């Protein structure tokens, strides 16, 4: 039978203490990483909010209401109405860009980002104001967002959960 001395217990307790310190440091590191992500996301949200607030100063809701009605009723638009719809899409795509950032930071659920991708694809495929805005303003968005949008436009499929569908078969009217 092996004898356990006070020295043996001391060594075991030192090993346990060292492991506890390592585990604590890993936990603290994870917390710092999570806090950093949250801080970056909050800062990015603030920047997006400021951008959107600024861009919205050029929008006139009464003109937009008429322009949207006329657009979806296939009634000819004035130049002001066309410009307002294009500016509205600029705001819209700033929201999408921020959602993409939140998705990259794992702060936005994949299902929500998948929904945004369907909307982005639909707008840039079917909405003249969105097409014009993207053509004129694309370079004002982050490179990573530009790349995602470019891939969406090249690809005719969007993956939603376990199902893969072509964009053309999806109902994006809602």
**What is the model's pLDDT at position 5?**
74
Among candidates 86, 68, 161, which has minimal Cα distance to 124?
86
- Are 99 and 151 spatial neighbours (Cβ–Cβ below 8 Å)? no
Partner residues linked to 159 by β-bridges: 164
Residue 45 in this model has a pLDDT that exceeds 80: no
- Structural domain contains residue 162: yes
Report how far residue 95's alpha carbon sits from residue 123's, in angstroms, rounded to the nearest whole number: 14
165 versus 125: the higher-pLDDT residue is: 125
132 versus 164: the higher-pLDDT residue is: 132
The band of 99, judged by pLDDT with boundaries at 50, 70 and 90, is: very high
Domain limits at 104? 12-169
The mean per-residue pLDDT over the stretch 1-29 comes to 78
**What is the model's pLDDT at position 68?**
93
The band of 148, judged by pLDDT with boundaries at 50, 70 and 90, is: very high
Partner residues linked to 164 by β-bridges: 159
- Structural domain contains residue 4: no
At residue 88, the 3 state secondary structure works out as: helix
Digit-coded pLDDT (tens) for 157-171: 654 444 444 544 444
Instruction: Give, as one character, the DSSP assignment of residue 73.
Output: T
Among candidates 130, 167, 136, which has minimal Cα distance to 151?
167
Alpha helix positions (H), 59-105:
61-72, 79-104
**What is the model's pLDDT at position 64?**
94
What is the pLDDT of the chain when averaged over all its residues?
A: 83
**What is the model's pLDDT at position 54?**
64
Signed CA dihedral, 64, 70, 71, 73: sign only: positive
In this structure, the number of other CB atoms found within 10 A of the CB of residue 93 comes to 23
Its pTM stands at 0.68
- In the chain, how many domains are there? 1
Report how far residue 51's alpha carbon sits from residue 144's, in angstroms, rounded to the nearest whole number: 18
């Amino acid at each position: 039978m092996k004898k356990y001395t006070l020295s043996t217990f001391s060594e075991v307790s030192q090993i346990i203490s060292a492991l506890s310190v390592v585990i604590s440091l890993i936990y603290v590191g994870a917390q710092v990483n999570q806090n950093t992500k949250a801080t970056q996301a909050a800062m990015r949200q603030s920047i997006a909010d400021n951008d959107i607030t600024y861009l919205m100063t050029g929008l006139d809701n009464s003109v937009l209401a008429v322009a949207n009605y006329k657009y979806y009723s296939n009634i000819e638009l004035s130049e002001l109405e066309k410009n307002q719809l294009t500016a509205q899409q600029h705001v819209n795509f700033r929201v999408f860009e921020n959602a993409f950032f939140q998705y990259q930071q794992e702060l936005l659920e994949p299902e929500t980002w998948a929904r945004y991708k369907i909307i982005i694809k639909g707008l840039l495929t079917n909405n003249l104001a969105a097409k014009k805005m993207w053509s004129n303003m694309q370079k004002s968005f982050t490179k990573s967002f530009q790349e995602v949008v470019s891939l969406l436009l090249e690809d005719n499929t969007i993956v939603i959960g376990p199902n893969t569908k072509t964009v053309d078969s999806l109902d994006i009217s809602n």
